[in-house]
Amino acid sequence: MTLTELVDSLVCSYSQEEVMLKHVEYGPDLPVFKKAPKYLFRGERDFYPETLSSKDRLVSLTTEQMVEFLDCASTFVAKLAIDVIRPLPQIGSPDRKSMLNEVHSWVQHYGVPVMSVDLTADLHVAAFFASSENTSGRGRIGIVETRELIDGHQLLQMDRGFCPRARNQRGYALRMWDEQPDLKDTTVYPVKWYEFEMRPSDHVFAERADLMAPTDDWLLDHVLVHLRRIRATDRGVQELFDSIRLKLKDPVVFSGSEQTLKRP
């Protein structure tokens, strides 16, 4: 089945609608009922045996490097939260835990590895990620009922309007814990996976530049500012953060074999 055929079939089988679901908010830890999409989707550009968080995919780092990476990433998230979220009048005066959870979910959209797996409420967004830069010629679409993830898991809605990339992607972040790291573990996560084969016509789903680089992405400048301030002592860890900046097309360029930062 091609990706186009699969999407057409899933649209008929999984009619998206809003339902009232019980949420546990990060701040007061009180259950509230809010509208949520009935289904969440995930697109993958190959038949991956596991679906891990981007942090858990950092297999090239040693134990010592992972410790420093997590320390640098935690500081980066904390400073970005203070810089970006606290001044926003829409949020008011959120507590520290709420701010860190909010920014933690955002930064993965800019290539920073975190302990979350991205999902979307839009099937066509999932098809975008399954087809964009797909070199395997195949892939999967995962589907799960939102209520199955709200019960017993930490699921954060990200399309509230503050992060342009998350908003455009109708994003949700599922926090992955060390003891339950794999979204393909059906004993923990009841996700149904559907396979497809890519055809040239399927690349039409990848023609969504607004999902990765929206024109109103005011948050990108803040992310780059704080990425530039990271100074890891381990060269491999520093190179990891520098590679994120390169993918984000940081206007602060690199020069020389040592990739020394050159300020404009």
Which helix (H) or strand (E) segment holds residue 178: the answer is none
Which helix (H) or strand (E) segment holds residue 119: the answer is strand 116-120
* Pairing mode of beta strands 171-175, 18-24: unpaired
Taking CB atoms within 8 Å and a gap of at least 24, the contacts of 93-99 are 94/27, 95/27, 97/26, 97/27, 98/26, 98/27
The per-residue b/e assignment along 138-162, b for 16 or more CB within 10 angstroms, e otherwise, is ebbbbbbbbeebeeeebbbbbbeeb
Q: Are 176 and 183 in contact (CB under 8 A)?
A: yes
User: Count of residues for the chain?
Assistant: 264
Q: Does pLDDT of 259 surpass 50?
A: no
Q: Is 125 exposed, middle or buried (0-12, 13-18, 19+ CB in 10 A)?
A: buried
Query: Which two three-digit tokens encode residue 48?
Result: 């991956």
State pTM to two decimals: 0.86
158-176 tens-digit pLDDT: 876 578 888 889 999 999 9
94-128 tens-digit pLDDT: 555 666 777 888 899 999 999 999 999 999 999 99
Q: What is the reported pLDDT for 152?
A: 67
Residue 26 banded pLDDT, cuts 50, 70, 90: very low
pLDDT > 90: percent of the chain: 58
Average pLDDT, the chain: 85
Q: Does pLDDT of 89 surpass 70?
A: no
**Mutual orientation of helices 123-131 and 3-13 as an angle, nearest 10°?**
160
| Residue that has been written with the tokens 């089945």 in this structure | 1
